[in-house]
Amino acid sequence: MRALLAVLMLLVLSVPALAVRPDEMLADPALEARARTISEGLRCLVCQNQSIDDSDADLAHDLRVIVRERLTAGDSDD
């Protein structure tokens, strides 16, 4: 029973990590961490109660890409 609960918890906790696609991730770990922090604070307009970091919506994907492009271009976190 404990093993089943552990597996279920692992699955539940790993779902948000699936929203960010590998092709979106930046090679620079510091920039990627900044992008994730920003994306966690922005709400998805389609999902309404999810951050763009957690959302699988196409709009959220597009916004995550824009955040990473802007950071790569040298924009600040603000």
Structural domains in the chain? 2-72 (1.10.8)
Rounded-to-integer distance, Cα 51 and Cα 39, Å: 7
Give pLDDT, residue 5: 67
What is the reported pLDDT for 10?
A: 60
| Tokens matching residue 54 | 């957690």
Give the Cα separation of 32 and 24 in Å (integer). 9
What are the average pLDDT values for consecutive 10-residue runs of the chain, which has 78 residues?
A: 68 56 76 92 89 92 94 90
Transcribe 18-68 into DSSP letters. GTS-TTT--SSHHHHHHHHHHHHHSBPTTTSSSBTTT--SHHHHHHHHHHH
Q: How far apart, in whole angstroms, are the C-alpha atoms of residue 77 and residue 56? A: 23
